[in-house]
Homo-oligomer: A and B are copies of this chain.
Amino acid sequence: MANEKKMDCVILGLLCHEELTGYEIKKRINTALKFFWSASYGSIYPALNDLVNRGLATKREDTGNKRNKLIYTITDEGRNYLKEWLALPVEKDELRYETLLKLFFGNEQGAEQTISHIDVFEEKTRKELQYLLEAEKSLKDCLSDDGAHKYYLLTVEFGIKTYDAYLEWCKEAKKLLMDNGE
């Protein structure tokens, strides 16, 4: 229990809550985890087979459906593995903000171009914030349905708080750049 691949833990975490297909896992990552995690099919499907080989999940075909679905279920060992990982301290949070990189080198391109990068960032942030606010609302409405919802809400609140901060910064940054430009 030393080198847990993050992908394995993400998948096990999702499977802990419900049985899922690889396709559905991708969807969950693209929605619920979107603003702080990402993954592609090229890493999800191989990871799923690997989890089965290691006895952390089981795979079965969905017979009731017409589609060629493969449904994955977490095993007790899988749950234990997840819990052990959760108990370990966080190794690192990684961020690579290309926007901030271009901003940092803004002196080489001038205020106008920098402002336009900020505009794009602002617009994107605004859209995602909108999505998070909707998620917040629906989570608050069904908070008692499931103990996990409280934790989902917590991550959403994190996103909302940071996105609010981003937007505030965008406003001030643009002001500073425009004042100096005159």
Interface residues of A (CB under 8 A from B): 6, 9-10, 13, 16-17, 32-33, 35-38, 79, 82-83, 86-87, 89-109, 113-114, 117, 120-121, 146-148, 150-152, 154-155, 157-158, 161-162, 164-166, 168-169, 172-173, 176-177, 180
A106 (CB) vs chain B CBs: closest residue: B151
Q: A70 CB to closest chain B CB, in angstroms?
A: 23
Contacts of A180 in B (CB 8 A): 150
Contacts of A113 in B (CB 8 A): 86-87
Flag if B172 contacts A101 (CB, 8 Å): no
A118 (CB) vs chain B CBs: closest residue: B154
Identical subunits present: 2
Q: List 18 A-B contacts (CB under 8 A).
A: A9-B101, A16-B105, A33-B101, A36-B100, A38-B96, A89-B120, A90-B102, A93-B96, A93-B121, A95-B96, A100-B155, A114-B151, A150-B177, A154-B173, A154-B177, A157-B169, A158-B169, A162-B169
A158 (CB) vs chain B CBs: closest residue: B169
Q: How far is the CA of A89 from the CA of B116 in the complex (A)?
A: 9
Contacts of A147 in B (CB 8 A): 107
Contacts of A173 in B (CB 8 A): 154, 157-158
Q: A51 CB to closest chain B CB, in angstroms?
A: 15
Flag if A104 contacts B32 (CB, 8 Å): yes
Contacts of A168 in B (CB 8 A): 161
